[in-house]
Each structure stands twice: as structure tokens, then as C-alpha cells.
Amino acid sequence: MTFLRNTWYVAAWDHEVAHDALFQRTLLNESVLFFRDDAGKVQAISNRCPHRFAPLHMGKRVSNGVQCPYHGLQFDGAGTCTGNPHGDGRIPAAASVKSYPVIEKYSAIWIWMGDPAREDEASIPDFSCMDPEHAWVGKRYLHARANYVLETDNIMDLSHIQYLHPTTLGSDTVSDAITSVKQEGHTVYSNRQTVAEIMPDYLYTAMGFPHGLPVDRWVDVRWDAPANMLLDAGAVATGGARSDGRSFMLPHLFTPETDKTTHYWFAFCMPKALGEFGKQVVEEQVEGLSVPFTNEDLPMLEAQQRMMGDAEFWSLKPVLLPGDAGAIRARRVLDGLIANEQKEALQPAPAL
Ligand code: FES
Ligand SMILES: [Fe+2]
């Protein structure tokens, strides 16, 4: 599988890379080592020592870097070998590892897996709802044994909540929803609105509405490549204006681990201005959402992947339903971006 390279992927929640610790994660089939330098800034380098290929994360954190657990070479965050305890201590010219641009932003650590010369912080999509300065952010991580684009399909086509989450997130009204899809640049929006919906009890409790109240409910999803989505989910008493209802921001962020496994981060955010109450709600809500995501979505995604085996998605000629429009649009945008990168890679280098 070919992955988009010149883009930002989420690599971890900010708290996953602790001070004075080494953290390893496989992203796009590459084992990457994360640590914080002495100033606390996150660094990311290849986890494979260039000497005998030992995994550096099994080594030791040293000042501004890591020491290989096997023969003791040291590397800094630029991937430069900074210490050789052997012989006269000379550092062989080839003793370096790849380093990756990383940015800590919106409660997450973002990594650029492509050409470092092209990294561009401004291209990280706006997830300011997760800015830890202004928001309480309930954060969770799941690991899925399924391809990451199946995860995009899952979020961009929320018609599945009627069938997969009948007692938590869905209802019989979901399939009657008004849906729309639009694209702005490379961003795709997949919006869904139900009218006079009787929601499952879980949602009335979670949203603080009287049980049984007919509501107009919306879930608007924004997608950016490679697979970063922001859900604006809310409801209002039927006929009311959205501004009179209640809504929540729910980021869903996916990064391929391998061709058929995915890192899945999701969050629930509330403004910090709400004080301790907001913090408590965030924790309760993200825990509540973990239940259907873990017990219902995850097994379905993994079962889909097992049924697909090694086959490429389009080669199986998937039947398309109206609710697929947003997911298909996102797939087309992603495929186009990857094709462009491949085309660029084939162009001959300019003559000197
Ligand atoms: S394998 Fe890393 S120093 Fe030998
Ligand atoms: Fe779901």
C-alpha cells in the first residue's frame, strides 16, 4: 500500500511521550522512536540503530538523546551519532538515523513522514477545540486491526449508527436523515441531520435533555487527509435553532500503523471556561463513547478487514449507497493526493 508522505499524521497524544522516557510506535510501517530533549521538545528518529539494527527504544535516555542498548552508540534528535564508546571514539560517517519533523499541537504530537524540506505547520488542520490552554480534552487511544481508510468510511458514513449502535448512538430515524456532502479544497464535509428523532436513553442522559423529547440532531463531519476528522455533534428540541441546542466537538484521528492496522485517537472537548464541571463532563463523556467505539465499531472494522483479506478496496467492487458519498469523496481526494506524490517522484531531477 502506498501512503501519503507529505502530510501531518498524528503520532501520539502529548502525554504518551513522557519526559525522560523512550516511546516507540510503528507508523506507516516504520518504527519510530520518540523522546523529549532536555528542553522538553519532542524529537522523533528512526528506531533502528544503523550498527546492528537494534531497536533504540530498548536503550537508555541520555542527555538530549538515546543510547543504543546493544553497543552503546548515542544519537540525538537530529539522528546524528553523538557518541561512540569504542576505540578512539571516532564517529563513522554513516552512523546516523533518519529524523522526522514533529510538532506538539492541539494535545497531540504530529509527525511529517515525507520530505522534511516540505513540512509546513500551517497545514495541520484546525483542531483548536483540543488546544489544552483553552479546553478540557478527554483523550483515548484504540488500536484497530483494520486499514485506516476503512476508519474514514466508518466516520464519514454515520448511517451505520442505526444498526451498529442501536442502544447507544443510533435510532430508527437515522436512515431518514437529510445528508449533504461538500468539498472545499482538499477538505471534505459529510453532514447529517435527523428531524423529530427519539434518541436512545444514553444520549438523552449524555446531552442533558428530558428522556423522550423529540429532537433535531446533527452530526457534521470535517475530513482532512490523510484521515483526520472533526465531528460537530449536537441536538435541539425539534424545530429549534441549533444555537439553542447542545453540541460537542469530537475529534477522530487515524494513522496507519501498517497496511492493515491503525492507530485510533478520539477525544471529547469542552471549553476550560466551564471550570471543574467541564473537566468532569469530558471524562464521563469520553468514557461513555469508548464503550460503543470499542465494543461495536472496532470488532466490525476488524471483521471487515478479515473479510477483505489482502484485496485492494476497489478491486472488490463495493456496492455504493447514498450514505457513502462523503466517504467516497474523501477516498478520491486521498487517492488523488497520493497519485500526485507518485507522479512527482517519477519526474527526473533538474539538471545542475
Ligand atoms: S546495534 Fe546499536 S550500537 Fe550496535
Ligand atoms: Fe460507529
Residue by residue, DSSP assigns 276-335 as HHHHHHHHHHHHHHHHHIIIIIHHHHHHHHHHHTT--TGGG-----GGGHHHHHHHHHHH
Ligand nearest to the CA of 49: 1
Q: Is 49 in the pocket of ligand 1 (CB under 6 A)?
A: yes
Q: Is 86 in the pocket of ligand 1 (CB under 6 A)?
A: no
Give the pLDDT band (50/70/90) at residue 277. Answer: confident
Ligand nearest to the CA of 290: 2
Residue nearest ligand 1's atom 1 by CA: 52
Q: What is the rounded average pLDDT of the residues 130-145?
A: 97
Q: Is 60 in the pocket of ligand 1 (CB under 6 A)?
A: no
Q: What is the rounded average pLDDT of the residues 95-117?
A: 98
Q: Is 54 in the pocket of ligand 1 (CB under 6 A)?
A: yes
Please tell me the predicted confidence (pLDDT) of residue 75. 98
The closest-lying atom of ligand 1 relative to the alpha carbon of residue 71 is 3
Tell me which residue of 217, 230, 132, 113 sits closest to 172, measured CA to CA: 217
Q: What's the 36 CA to ligand 1 centre distance in angstroms? A: 21
Q: What's the 326 CA to ligand 2 centre distance in angstroms? A: 15
Q: Quick check: 27 pLDDT over 70?
A: yes
Please tell me the predicted confidence (pLDDT) of residue 178. 94
Q: Which residues, other chains included, contact 313 with Cβ-Cβ below 8 Å and sequence gap of 6+?
A: 147, 149, 331
Q: What's the 212 CA to ligand 2 centre distance in angstroms? A: 22
Average pLDDT across the chain, whole number: 95
What is the tens place of the pLDDT at every residue in 29-72? 999 999 999 999 999 999 999 999 999 999 999 999 999 999 99
Give the pLDDT band (50/70/90) at residue 93. Answer: very high
Give the pLDDT band (50/70/90) at residue 115. Answer: very high
Domain architecture of the chain: domains with CATH: 8-123 (2.102.10.10), 129-339 (3.90.380.10)
Tell me which residue of 27, 24, 63, 13 sits closest to 47, measured CA to CA: 24
Q: What's the 96 CA to ligand 1 centre distance in angstroms? A: 11
Please tell me the predicted confidence (pLDDT) of residue 232. 96
Q: How many whole angstroms separate alpha carbon 33 and alpha carbon 340?
A: 29
Q: Is 68 in the pocket of ligand 1 (CB under 6 A)?
A: yes
Extract the runs of DSSP E, i.e. beta strands, from 116-185. 135-144, 178-184
What is the tens place of the pLDDT at every residue in 328-350? 999 999 999 999 999 998 887 76
Q: Which residue has the higher pLDDT, 161 or 27?
A: 27
Ligand nearest to the CA of 95: 1
Please tell me the predicted confidence (pLDDT) of residue 352. 67
Please tell me the predicted confidence (pLDDT) of residue 341. 96
The closest-lying atom of ligand 1 relative to the alpha carbon of residue 56 is 2
Pocket test for ligand 1, best of 47, 48, 60, 73 (most atoms within 8 A of CB): 73
Residue nearest ligand 1's atom 3 by CA: 71
The closest-lying atom of ligand 1 relative to the alpha carbon of residue 59 is 2
Give the pLDDT band (50/70/90) at residue 88. Answer: very high
Ligand nearest to the CA of 219: 2
Please tell me the predicted confidence (pLDDT) of residue 196. 95
Q: What is the rounded average pLDDT of the residues 190-213?
A: 93
Q: Quick check: 1 pLDDT over 90?
A: no
Q: Is 52 in the pocket of ligand 1 (CB under 6 A)?
A: yes
H helix and E strand count, the chain: 6, 18
Q: What's the 291 CA to ligand 2 centre distance in angstroms? A: 10
Q: What's the 195 CA to ligand 2 centre distance in angstroms? A: 20
